[in-house]
């Protein structure tokens, strides 16, 4: 089962990097198969075995499925939306902590140039490497090296009040960085919940097919499939805040680079 969960996570991460419309088309494929070829064969079997519609069972089953599916999807979307907003706030706090350190050290002419160089290199490393999965490890190692340099500079400040405040901001910076990294390529949604959502949506579509023998069943299944594909695509694009067209903007880091002198 663990292998299945790992596969779901890998597929979800891959889809999130493909863009909204490409992901939508890929997500639509299984629903399109259910809405047309699978529905066609289900209807043939129902007709062959003279399956009778039950006007009492359909509303009851549909109500249960729609309620459970709707609540589950709502929980997933709200969780991912909050995760997306939290990562946006964390990145802004990280940029603000860098600016606060810069403000603390600007009064020490002897440390200012050295500190600004280390801060710029840290920001450049984070902006260009830590948001890319293939360069994340190397980028993290370089970022830690520059944080160590900033730590040594802050520790050597003579004014005790300035030194204490700079060290406090550096601790905040390290904490915000850890929070950002923990949410960059890790989803707050367990793969089992993704599987549950997908299975529930497909059961809902199959329920429409089973209890709707009219040709309008094709229209109902198609509309339902498109709706589920849209909401699942949106959820997937929110799952990893630094991937895809809905990604968190890293402009706060680039604004810092524009304000500081490049080393």
Print the domain residue range for 230.
Answer: 2-82+187-239
* CB burial of residue 135 (10 Å; 0-12, 13-18, 19+): middle
Please determine, for residue 263, whether its predicted confidence score (pLDDT) is greater than 60. no
Confidence of residue 172 (pLDDT cuts 50, 70, 90): very high
Please spell the DSSP secondary structure of 174-238, one letter per residue: HHHHHHHHHHHS--SS-HHHHHHHHHHHHHHHHHHHHT--STHHHHHHHHHHHHHHHHHHHHHHH
Domain of 102, CATH number, reads: 1.20.120
Per the structure, the count of domains in the chain is 2
Final residue before a domain boundary, out of 181, 203, 231: 181
pLDDT value at 107 more than 90: no
In order of 22, 123, 161, 254, the CA distances from 104 in angstroms are 47, 17, 10, 20
pLDDT at 56 over 70: no
Residue 42 lies in a domain: yes
What confidence tens digit (pLDDT) does each residue in 131-140 have? 876 777 767 8
Tell whether 127 and 76 lie within a shared domain.
Answer: no
**Boundary residue ending a domain (181, 207, 222):** 181
Q: What's this model's pTM, rounded to 2 decimal places?
A: 0.85
pLDDT of residue 209: 85
Residue 251 inside a domain? The answer is no
Per residue in 196-229, is it b (16+ CB within 10 Å) or e — as a string? Answer: ebbebbbebbbbbbbbbeeeebbeebbebbeebb
Q: Are residues 93 and 173 in the same domain?
A: yes
Residue 134 forms part of a structural domain? yes
pLDDT at 142: 87
Domain boundary among 160, 181, 202: 181
Q: Tell whether 261 is covered by a domain.
A: no
**CB atoms closer than 10 angstroms to residue 161:** 9
């Amino acid at each position: 089962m663990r292998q299945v969960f790992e596969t779901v996570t890998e597929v979800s991460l891959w889809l999130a990097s493909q863009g909204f419309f490409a992901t939508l088309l890929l997500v639509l494929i299984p629903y399109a198969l259910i809405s047309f070829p699978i529905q066609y064969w289900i209807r043939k079997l129902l007709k062959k075995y003279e399956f009778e519609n039950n006007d009492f069972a359909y509303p009851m089953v549909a109500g249960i499925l729609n309620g459970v599916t709707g609540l589950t999807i709502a929980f997933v979307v709200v969780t991912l939306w909050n995760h997306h907003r939290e990562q946006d706030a964390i990145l802004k706090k990280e940029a603000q902590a860098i600016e606060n350190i810069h403000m603390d050290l600007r009064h020490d002419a002897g440390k200012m140039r050295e500190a600004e160089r280390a801060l710029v290199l840290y920001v450049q490393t984070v902006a260009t490497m830590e948001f890319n999965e293939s360069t994340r490890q190397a980028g993290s190692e370089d970022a830690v090296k520059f944080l160590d340099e900033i730590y040594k500079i802050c520790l050597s400040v003579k004014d005790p009040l300035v030194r204490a405040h700079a060290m406090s901001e550096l601790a905040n910076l390290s904490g915000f960085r850890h929070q950002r990294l923990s949410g960059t390529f890790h989803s707050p949604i367990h793969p089992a919940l993704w599987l549950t959502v997908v299975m529930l949506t497909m059961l809902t579509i199959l329920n429409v097919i089973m209890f709707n023998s009219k040709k309008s069943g094709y229209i109902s299944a198609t509309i339902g499939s498109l709706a589920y594909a849209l909401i699942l695509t949106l959820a997937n694009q929110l799952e990893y805040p630094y991937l895809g067209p809905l990604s968190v903007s890293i402009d706060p880091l680039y604004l810092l680079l524009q304000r500081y002198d490049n080393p």
